[in-house]
Amino acid sequence: MNDRLAAVLLLALASLPALAQTAPGLPGAAPPPFAEVFADATLRLDFTFTVDQKTEIVSLDRLRVQGPWAGPRTGLHQPFDYGRYAISLYDLATNRLLYAQGFDGLFGEYRTTTPAQQGEKRAYRRGLCVPLPKASVRVVLASRDRANLLQPVFVRTVDPQAPEVFRLPPPADVAVTAVQQSGAPADKVDLAFVAEGYTADDRAAFAEDVEKMLAALWACEPYASLRDRFNVYAVFRASQERGVSEPRQGRFRRTAVGASFNALGLDRYLLTEDDEALRTIASAAPHDTLVLLVNSERYGGGGIYQDYAASTADHALSRKVFLHEFGHSFAGLGDEYFTSEVAYNDFYPAGQEPLEPNLTALLVAGRPKWAGLVSAGLELPTPWEQQERDRLTQAMQELAAERQQAVAKAKQEGKGEAELKALADGFQPRLEELAKAQKARAERLAPLRGKVGAFEGAGYAAKGLYRPSLECLMFSNAEGGFCPVCQDAILRMVLHVCGGR
Ligand SMILES: [Zn+2]
């Protein structure tokens, strides 16, 4: 940013006395009744975020008026302090805050990667949907600084009646099926599954895959108890080719939403960077939350708060991946694991409490943010033999690799089947010993199952960050569902999106 521009921005900000209210969740004057300031329609603002680690340049591109507003009509200043970004709308005349919503974006994650730290800028499109204001509003986009405080990065007056605001119906070749109808969109969570990588011949397969994912959702608490709070839509636009792009395998497909594996350079990270395609297709159905269902047997997915969840449909673990990623995108949950490969550096800076409801740095008197849910008698932090777990996992991996190498070498030397088998069997006693130690540890920890405490190892960090339970869908694909803290966070989000009813 040049000095002149910085000065202009400062001036613009100085004229915003209510700016402190951009932070969702902060107390402020109650928002006016919905119908007083908003029409029953959706305004989509298409932004471009050009970012590296140090800079964020935000520009507003097209404005579009879309179908009915599916979101809540009360609680327009959302009660959660989630997301690295927030969009706020202010009344021009009174500076009154009309609407505020936190969100995340792939650009926010990119900023923590090594290329971004080296100053490599990348541009990401992102359409944000808000209720359509009846009059001009001031739009403020804010981004978290290193202390997690929201700082404005974009301020602009927007006139929703301006002639350049596009008013296009959804494309004619997008088909919407209402899979479950429980009530008016304003009173329910409107969940839209968007088809990706299904050709015109695969429409029935898509419908089956949606049912498969829904069966998993309704079998999992708290969704099982909240089923009637949801409307569900299946949104289909045929892809020219079946499957999904996987650049590292040299595989490229022309698909409806342009999703791709290898997001941020990771094998299993599956997202789309064609935001325009996704938003345009999704505009055909009322939606509070989107799931990109990808026609592939590979393991993978991704989920970004207030953006969308993506999951493949046909891997043996796809149902769990869907539930996990939907936890991110819908309920703002964080990753509780700390062992898998990620592209981020310093994703949660030391000494700072993560925003996510299921992660804590235990900074405040050693109490987690979920203190009210902690099981009676549990120590904080909660010992869980983390060192023993890491030792056993590492030993198991090393031994398996050693065995594989020994067998491969013997094969190269032309050894026969019987000799190879004997060689592999030779490793068995040591493997069994480790398995026995793992089982013994699991038995010792059995009393902790289902309990809430603060277990060290979470948010991509083995030390310094804590998760609520031994097991959770946000921690691993092991048996079981969400931990009580994640269930509580999901429940609160469902009630909010349903307008508190
Ligand atoms: Zn959890």
Whether 84 has a pLDDT exceeding 70, the answer reads: yes
The single-letter code of the amino acid at 256 is A
Confidence band for 28, pLDDT divided at 50, 70 and 90: low
Which of 138, 136, 161, 141 minimizes the C-alpha distance to 59? 141
pLDDT tens for 278-315 read 999 999 999 999 999 999 999 999 999 999 999 999 99
Checking if the pLDDT of 272 tops 90, the result is: yes
Rounded to the nearest angstrom, the distance between the alpha carbon of 468 and the centre of ligand 1 is: 6
Domain residue spans in the chain?
Answer: 3-158, 175-331, 386-443
Q: Could you tell me the distance, in angstroms and rounded to a whole number, from the CA of residue 44 to the centre of ligand 1?
A: 32
Say whether pLDDT at 17 is over 90. Answer: no
Q: Ligand 1 centre from 474 Cα, in Å? A: 5
In the predicted model, is pLDDT for residue 276 greater than 70?
yes
Distance from Cα 478 to the centre of ligand 1, integer Å: 13
In the reported structure, the alpha carbon of residue 264 is separated from the centroid of ligand 1 by a whole-number distance in angstroms of 25
Instruction: Calculate the dihedral angle through the C-alpha atoms of 492, 230, 498, 82, rounding to the nearest 10 degrees.
Output: 40
Residue-wise pLDDT tens digits, 129-164: 999 999 999 999 999 998 899 999 999 999 999 999
At 373-390, the pLDDT tens digits run 999 999 999 999 999 998
Say how many Å lie between the CA of residue 325 and the centre of ligand 1: 12
N- to C-terminal Cα separation, the chain: 45
For ligand 1, the distance from its centroid to the CA atom of residue 382, given in whole angstroms, is 15
Q: How far is the CA of 185 from the centre of ligand 1 (A)?
A: 28
pLDDT of 248 higher than 70: yes
- What integer pLDDT is reported at residue 351 of this predicted model? 87
pLDDT, position 11: 39
Q: Cα of 234 to ligand 1 centre, how many Å?
A: 28
Predicted confidence at residue 480, as pLDDT, reads 87
Strand-pairing partners, residue 360, are 466
Q: How confident is the model at residue 78 (pLDDT cuts 50, 70, 90)?
A: confident
Q: What is the dihedral of CA 415, 420, 422, 428, to 10 degrees?
A: 150
Q: What is the pLDDT of residue 19?
A: 38
Q: From ligand 1's centre to the CA of 149, what distance in Å?
A: 25
Q: Cα separation of 318 and 216, whole Å?
A: 10
Residue 230 clears pLDDT 60, i.e. is over it: yes
Ligand 1 centre to CA of 187 (Å) is 26
Q: How is 128-142 classified by DSSP, letter by letter?
A: EEEEEESS-EEEEEE
Q: For 158-220, what is the HEC assignment?
A: ECCCCCCCECCCCCCCCEEEEEECCCCHHHCEEEEEEEECCCHHHHHHHHHHHHHHHHHHHCC
Q: What is the DSSP string of 277-314?
A: HHHHHHTTS--SEEEEEE--SS--EEEETTTEEEEESS
| Model pLDDT for residues 440-452, shown as the tens digit of each residue | 999 999 999 999 9
> Does the pLDDT of residue 277 top 50, yes or no?
yes
* Ligand 1 mean position, distance from CA 487 (Å): 7
Q: How far is the CA of 485 from the centre of ligand 1 (A)?
A: 6
Alpha-carbon span 175 to 230, nearest angstrom: 20
What CATH number is given for 175-331 in this structure? 3.40.390.10
Contacts of 180 (CB under 8 A, 6+ apart): 214, 227, 230, 231, 232
Amino acid identity for residue 407 in this structure: V
| Span from the CA of 408 to the centroid of ligand 1 (angstroms) | 40
Which fold does the domain 3-158 belong to in CATH? Immunoglobulin-like (2.60.40)
Mean pLDDT of the chain: 91
Mean pLDDT of all residues in 352-376: 94
Distance 122 CA to ligand 1 centre (A): 32
Is the pLDDT at 329 greater than 80, yes or no? yes
Ligand 1 centroid, distance to 181 Cα (angstroms): 29
Q: What is the pLDDT of residue 501?
A: 65
Expressed in angstroms and rounded, the spacing between residue 440 Cα and the centre of ligand 1 is 24
What average pLDDT does range 478-483 have in this prediction? 90
**CA 324 to centroid of ligand 1, rounded, Å:** 10
Total residues found in the chain within this entry: 501
Q: What is the pLDDT of residues 37-46, one digit of tens each?
A: 999 999 999 9
Ligand 1 midpoint to CA 331 (Å): 11
Gap from CA of 446 to ligand 1 centroid (Å): 17
Ligand 1 centroid to 14 CA: how many Å? 41
Q: Separation of 17 CA from ligand 1 center, angstroms?
A: 38
pLDDT over 80 at 70, yes or no: yes
Percent of the chain with pLDDT over 90: 83
CA of 71 to the centre of ligand 1 (A): 26
Q: What per-residue confidence (pLDDT) applies to 16?
A: 38
- What's the CA-to-centroid distance between 339 and ligand 1, angstroms? 16
One fold for both 3-158 and 175-331?
no
Q: How far is the CA of 346 from the centre of ligand 1 (A)?
A: 21
